[in-house]
Amino acid sequence: MAIQRYEGNGRMSKAVVFNNTIYLCGQTCDEGGIKEQTAGVLAKVEELLNKYGSDKENILSITIYVKDMKDFADMNAVYDAWVAKGHEPARACVEAKMARENLLVEMSVVAAVK
């Protein structure tokens, strides 16, 4: 089975599909506070999954990077409302220095193809 790479920019691809699994690059949103950025990131995740043959119910794992753990509860409030009940993925969340100062959250997703 061939590896399929989508929306590459010379440094990375937004999505890679291999062996019925979709790997998304880290998704970010740089507008608003933690709740707005979390909602924006999740919208991007859902859009990419739908575009390349999956959806949020097929997420296998998600890694969440937050700039400051003080935002953990507010990020979770948005995330918990978004995640499909009964389809919760494996998850890790860590505090991390972000690539740009205004970024508060980044998420990397692995999902099964529908």
Interval 60-108: pLDDT, tens = 999 999 999 999 999 999 999 999 999 999 999 999 999 999 999 999 9
Task: State the pTM of this model.
Answer: 0.96
> Which CATH number do you get for residue 18?
3.30.1330.40
Give the count of beta carbons closer than 10 Å to the beta carbon of residue 43: 13
Q: How many domains does the chain have?
A: 1
pLDDT of residue 1 exceeding 90: no
Dihedral angle of Cα 70, 38, 4, 99, to the nearest 10 degrees: -50
Interval 6-46: pLDDT, tens = 999 999 999 999 999 999 999 999 999 999 999 999 999 99
**Which residues form the domain of 108?**
4-112
**In this structure, what token pair is assigned to residue 103?**
């970024």
**In this structure, what token pair is assigned to residue 2?**
């061939």
